[in-house]
Amino acid sequence: MDVLDIGLADAARLDAADLLGALRDEFRLPMDRNGRREAVYLCGHSLGLQPVRAESLVREELEDWARLGVEGHLHARRPWVPYHTELTAGLAQLAGAGAGEVVAMNSLTVNLHLMCVSFYRPTRERYGLLIERPAFPSDRYAAESQVRFHGYDPADALIEVGPRPGEDTLRSEDLLRAVDEHGDRIALVMLPGVQYLTGQLLDMSEITRLAQRRGCKVGFDLAHAIGNVPLALHDWNVDFAVWCSYKYLNGGPGAIGGAFVHERHSHAFELPRFAGWWGHDAASRFEMGPKFMPMPGAEGWQLSNPPILAMTPLITSLELFERAGITRLREKSLALTGRFERLVRERLAGRVSVVTPSEPAERGCQLSLRLHLPPGAARSVHESLVARHLFCDWREPDVIRAAPVPLYNRFEEVDRFVSALERALTA
């Protein structure tokens, strides 16, 4: 038995002992071109897989629409008027929040702008907006446009903290030093929970503590964090957070996003906000009065009635998270990603380096891998993997991102992926 066979036998043993292994059957996996074998899908950081029950739940909503028409708002199996509350408990659990602190609404960047209306309130003395470099483009566009909207120059007001020269990830001390040094002029610290390119997990608790001590508001983009790592937004005292639901939350392409607003802002009705009728007090919403009376809590930032079909798949996904428990998922995630990193370092040293931090507490389940090849050759490696139904994604000029997701990935798939990458590098 050669080394590869020994490794696969060990992976099979780990899969057999996996108490969460049965959850894989709750998802639909892409198949290979012959339709005989499930693809190796390590792309949940980009688009999560479809829960099996999503199709039947969407069909129920379509049936209720056909059967009831407008009456479905009150008499569907899951009435449409309060439909967003179907997601509240599950999102609150994953966010580490109270039920009144979360709401499913809009998309991530829309929610980010809505939160900035309330929490980025620049003054002549305090107008800075701190982000990381490189930020996800949509976050940077939003930050720069908010600065410009308030009449400031991004070259002055936008404070960016990036890795040191020759390094890939942020050093916590550099980030915290920037918050401390610029704190007197920072109105808002807006950072990711998990950095999209490197997979680095930031210390949200410490960032929040220091920034708020300096008088800054703090918000997080949790697109790559929610459903990936345990969160405690309420206990960390975060002002707000936003996320999408199509990555680790498996809500489907273009799924409804979400937002967190700490309960200390629950009744801060004096905060400026963009208003819409679904954020109006529910008891008098349909009186159709001209005066906006916001609901307490995160629901008060809603604009429009919920898009039912964009929410439905998330219901069943959140049920699976509740069944698994984020603590057990994190334990499996650490084991999967730890094995993944070890195999890459042992078998691909000199040809591939791991960009993501090695310290388990500083990452989620994503590993970003830098290929030490000319740009064209590096991209062709990724293309060859995808052509063979090993799904990962590509970031220019030389990074493959791959994420073994504990809800549905196996240890054996990690081994298969590393073996395929090794073959592609030597082809």
Domain holding 112: CATH number? 3.40.640.10
pLDDT of 36 reads: 77
> 86 with 152, same domain?
yes
Q: What is the largest CA-CA distance in the chain?
A: 77
- Compute the average pLDDT of residues 262-281: 97
Q: Are residues 35 and 183 in the same domain?
A: no
Can you give the pLDDT at residue 4? 55
Residue 75 lies in a domain: yes
Q: Work out the mean pLDDT of the chain and round it to a whole number.
A: 96
Query: Residue 382: which of 366, 398, 405, 406 has the closest Cα?
Result: 398
Residues 338 and 269 in one domain: no
194 lies in the same domain as 83:
yes
Residue with tokens 């007197």: 184
Helix (H, G, I), strand (E, B) or coil at 166: coil
Q: Strand pairing partners for 403?
A: 43
In-domain check, residue 59: no
Helix %, strand %, coil % of the chain (to 5) = 45, 15, 40
- 145 lies in some domain: yes
State what percent of residues in the chain have pLDDT above 90.
95
In this prediction, residue 7 has a pLDDT band, given cuts at 50, 70 and 90, of: confident
pLDDT, position 8:
80
Q: Is residue 391 part of a domain?
A: yes
Instruction: Give how many domains the chain has, as a whole number.
Output: 2
**Quick one: 131 and 85 in the same domain?**
yes
Residue 395 pLDDT greater than 90, yes or no: yes
Please check whether residues 37 and 75 belong to one and the same domain: no
Question: At residue 261, what are phi and psi to the nearest 5 degrees?
Answer: -130, 125
Look at residue 1 in the predicted model and tell me its pLDDT.
Answer: 38
Whether residue 236 sits in one domain with residue 174: yes
CA atoms within 13 A on the CB side of 197: 17
Residues 304 and 341 both lie in one domain: no
Q: What is the percentage of the chain residues whose pLDDT exceeds 70?
A: 99
pLDDT score, position 6: 54
| pLDDT of 352 higher than 90 | yes
Q: What single DSSP character describes residue 46?
A: T
pLDDT category at 267 given cuts 50, 70, 90 is: very high
pLDDT attached to residue 150: 98
Confidence of residue 345 (pLDDT cuts 50, 70, 90): very high
Please tell me the predicted confidence (pLDDT) of residue 220: 98
Quote the pLDDT of residue 307.
97
According to the model, what pLDDT value does residue 411 have? 98
pLDDT digits (tens, 9 = 90+) for 22-53: 999 999 999 887 777 889 999 999 999 999 99
User: 118-133 pLDDT, tens per residue?
Assistant: 999 999 999 999 999 9
CATH number of 400's domain: 3.90.1150.10
Does any domain span residue 18?
A: yes
- Alpha helices by DSSP H, listed for 305-398, are 308-324, 326-347, 375-387
Q: Residue 5 has what pLDDT?
A: 55
- Final residue belonging to a domain, choices 322, 344, 364: 322
Measured N-to-C along each axis, helices 108-119 and 137-149 cross at an angle, to the nearest 10 degrees, of: 30
Residue 345 domain flag: yes
292-299: average pLDDT:
97
Could you say which of 322, 339, 372 is where a domain stops? 322
Confidence at residue 171, expressed as pLDDT on a 0 to 100 scale? 97
pLDDT, tens digit (0-9, with 9 covering 90-100), for 62-114: 999 999 999 999 999 999 999 999 999 999 999 999 999 999 999 999 999 99
Average pLDDT over residues 368-376: 92
In a domain, 288, yes or no: yes
Q: What is the pLDDT of residue 408?
A: 98
Same domain membership, residue 230 and residue 169: yes
Contact between 249 and 45 under an 8 Å Cβ cutoff? The reply is: no
Residue 306 lies in a domain: yes
Q: To 10 degrees, what angle do helices 172-182 and 204-213 make?
A: 20
0.85 exceeded by the pTM?
Answer: yes
Q: Do 393 and 255 belong together in one domain?
A: no
Please report, as a single letter, which amino acid is at residue 98: G
| Rg over CA atoms, the chain | 22
Which DSSP state fits 305?
-
| Domain edge (last residue) among 322, 339, 365 | 322
pLDDT class for 376, splitting at 50, 70, 90? confident
Work out the average pLDDT over 218-235: 98
Same domain, 107 and 209: yes
Tell me what pLDDT residue 388 has. 93
Domain range for residue 268?
A: 64-322
Co-location of 382 and 255 in the same domain: no
pLDDT of 2 strictly over 80: no
